[in-house]
Amino acid sequence: MAARVKIDFDKVYDFEDISPDLKLSSFITRLENGDELPLKVKISNNAHELLPSVYNLAFGPLNKQGRIDDRAALAHEDYSMVFSTILFSAFAYLQQNKDHYLGIDGSDNTRAYFYFRAMIRNFDYLDRYFNMYGIKYFVRISRFGRTQYDNPFDFEDIMSQALRSRLTTGFHRISCTITSFSISGTNVKDAAKS
C-alpha cells in the first residue's frame, strides 16, 4: 500500500449494485496482475454503541463466508480510483443521511495510517465535500472494546491539533495524531453543483 492516492470523484469505477438505502454498493476493481475483483462497500446498520451517530464504513472483497475481508492484501492497478469510488459511495450515503457520521478505520495500524495519509494528502479536495474529524477514540474503542481502558481519552499520545479553522462560520476542524476519520453528513457540502 505504498501508493499515493489522489481522490477525484470524476474518476470512479461504475457501480455494479447499489442498495436503495445506499448502505451497500459494489464495483469491480482491476488488480496489477490484470485480474478483476468485485469490491463491496458497506455502511453498518447500527450506530456505534458509544458514538450514537457514527456508522462504520467497511470495504473490501467478500470472503468465503460472504463477509467483507478488510484484511485482504490486494495490489490495485489504480488505488486512486478505488478510494475515490469508496468515498464517493460514502458521499452519496451522507447526502441522504445528513445526521449521520461515517467512521473509517483500518483493520490494523498500517492500514489506518495509510488512510490517514490519504485523507491528509487530499484534505483540500475532500474539504469541498465533507466535514472531517480525526477521532482516536473511535479507533481505540472499535479495535479493543470499551472495557479495554478505564478512560479511552486518558493517554499522552492523544494530542489534538487544529488543521483548519473557519472563524467566519464558527466551525473548527480537529485532528488527532494517527487514527481513523469520521466524515459527517451534517452540512455535507453540495460540491457536485459547483
Q: What is the pLDDT of residues 64-104, one digit of tens each?
A: 999 999 889 999 999 999 999 999 999 999 999 988 888 88
70 vs 28: which has the higher pLDDT:
28
Cα dihedral sign for 114, 116, 119, 120?
negative
What pLDDT is stored for residue 66 in this prediction?
92
**Which residues in 6-15 are b (16+ Cβ under 10 Å) and which e?**
bbebeebbee
185 vs 111: which has the higher pLDDT:
111
* Residue 6 counted as domain residue: no
Reported pTM:
0.75
* Residue 1 counted as domain residue: no
17-44 mean pLDDT: 96
What pLDDT is stored for residue 178 in this prediction?
32
Amino acid at 71: R
- Residue 153 has which C-alpha cell? 481519552
Q: How far apart, in Å, are the Cα atoms of 107 and each of 16, 35, 142, 151, 180?
A: 25, 24, 10, 22, 10
* Residue 3 counted as domain residue: no
| Percent of the chain predicted with pLDDT > 90 | 42
* Residue 161 counted as domain residue: yes
Instruction: Tell me the residue ranges of DSSP E strands in 78-169.
Output: 101-104, 131-135, 161-166
* Residue 103 counted as domain residue: yes
What tens digit of pLDDT does each residue of 147-188 get?
A: 555 554 444 444 444 344 333 333 333 333 333 445 555 445
57 in helix, strand or coil? Answer: strand
111-136 mean pLDDT: 82
Residue indicated by cell numbers 473557519? 166
Amino acid at 73: A
Q: How far apart, in Å, are the Cα atoms of 100 and each of 31, 36, 71, 95?
A: 32, 32, 26, 10
Cβ proximity of 12 and 34 under 8 Å: no
* Residue 88 counted as domain residue: yes
Structural domain span for residue 81: 15-189
Greatest mean pLDDT among 47-56, 72-81, 129-138, 139-148 lies in 72-81
What pLDDT is stored for residue 87 in this prediction?
94
Characterize the bridge pairing of strands 171-175 and 24-30. unpaired
37-56 mean pLDDT: 88
* Residue 98 counted as domain residue: yes
pLDDT of residue 194 exceeding 80, the answer is no
* Residue 8 counted as domain residue: no
**In total, how many domains does the chain have?**
1
